Structure 1
Amino acid sequence: MEYMSQGGYDELSNELNDLIKVRLPEAIQAISEARDKGDLSENYEYRAAKREHGRILRRINFLQKVLAHARVLPEEQLSSDSVQLLTKVEILNLGNNKRMTYTIVSPHEANTRERKISIKSPIARALLNKKKGDVVNVHVPIGTVKLRIEDISH
């Protein structure tokens, strides 16, 4: 079982519906059209359409498994006392005095452009269950970074 936000669950559900109702029928149609062009052994369009069809089927299978095991974490169960899944945490890098704000999310919702980091990332793992004012050492690819938790919210 994996917890996620309602927004993340809805996003994955929408992607699954799009794949099943739009993209899969398009891929099947592309295979049919390519097959009608003749010799399949030298038909690049047919091979490309089959690859795309397989990719779509794999993604559908993956999303179905994720959603089957996903549980939406109710907002009322979230606490701002410590860093948990779906909390927004403001941290200060004590090495360069740079402030950063991240939301801790499930791996399927992670998006660095939106400042959402996976609960399985080194930073999130180091911050979990810590409180405002705590200083943590995070082992990242470039070495160890010292971070202080400035604020926790939802």
Structure 2
Amino acid sequence: MSVEYMSQEGYDKLVAELRQLESVELPQVKEAIAEARDKGDLSENFEYHAAKREQSRLLGRIRFKQRVLANARVIDMSRLATGTVQLLSKVEMTNLANNSRMTYTIASPHEANIREGKISVKSPIAQALLNKEVGDVVEVRVPAGTIKLRIENIQLG
């Protein structure tokens, strides 16, 4: 796994999720396994097998989050330039086909959340915007075809 750059907010959120999994959810599953085991014959015990599957799923999520955190590097916002689009830039742009405006923050894949206006740095739109400046027009290939976007404003996210 390569280095994952992210905001302090994203890092803290990931740490909190990992703590929740390790200190709350995993003990609950272990308790459910113990209760199901006490009921006797494990070969036909649905609750036991369901709890074991849930434990396996949780352990996988925990290992994944641990790997991400081990390779995470928090970006120092004070060292970022505001002249070009980069990770953690908040970009206001206009779709030239229909003159609609949209604003997205370029985020790490682990922080991306379209409802919060955060798109992954690995997405086609973010890739097209990277290193561009205010006034630049970019063409982005999306599933619906090609769209032209003009960058109106760039701020630090």
TM-score, normalised by the number of residues in structure 2? 0.97
Shift of 1:38: 1.3
Q: Distance in 1 between matches of 2:115 and 2:139?
A: 24
Q: Distance in 2 between matches of 1:136 and 1:75?
A: 25
Paired letter, 1:136:
V
Alignment correspondent of 1:42: 44
Percent identity, aligned pairs only, is 66
Q: Does 1:93 align with 2:95?
A: yes
Q: Distance in 2 between matches of 1:130 and 1:18?
A: 39
User: What count of residue pairs does the alignment treat as equivalent?
Assistant: 154
Alignment correspondent of 1:152: 154
3-state SS, counterpart of residue 92 of structure 2: strand
Q: Distance in 2 between matches of 1:140 and 1:18?
A: 36
Q: Distance in 2 between matches of 1:121 and 1:11?
A: 21
Say which is worse superposed, 74-83 or 85-94, in terms of deviation.
74-83
Q: Distance in 2 between matches of 1:99 and 1:40?
A: 58
Q: Distance in 2 between matches of 1:34 and 1:126?
A: 53
Shift of 1:39: 1.3
Correspondent of 2:5 among 3, 18, 38: 3
Correspondent of 2:145 among 128, 134, 143: 143
Q: Does 1:15 align with 2:28?
A: no
Q: Distance in 1 between matches of 2:46 and 2:105?
A: 44
Q: How does 1:64-83 map to 2 (within 5 A)?
A: 64-83=66-85
RMSD: 0.6
Shift of 1:109: 0.2
Q: Distance in 2 between matches of 1:81 and 1:2?
A: 23
Shift of 1:104: 0.2
Please list every run of at least 4 consecutive aligned residues from structure 1 whose deviation after the TM superposition is greater than 4 angstroms.
Answer: none
Say which is worse superposed, 56-65 or 35-44, in terms of deviation.
35-44
3-state SS, counterpart of residue 85 of structure 2: coil
Q: Distance in 2 between matches of 1:110 and 1:60?
A: 19
Q: Distance in 1 between matches of 2:25 and 2:97?
A: 48
Q: Distance in 2 between matches of 1:76 and 1:52?
A: 42
3-state SS, counterpart of residue 26 of structure 1: helix
Q: Distance in 1 between matches of 2:152 and 2:93?
A: 5
Paired letter, 1:8:
G
Q: Distance in 2 between matches of 1:19 and 1:31?
A: 16
Segments of structure 1 that go 5 or more residues without pairing to the other structure are none
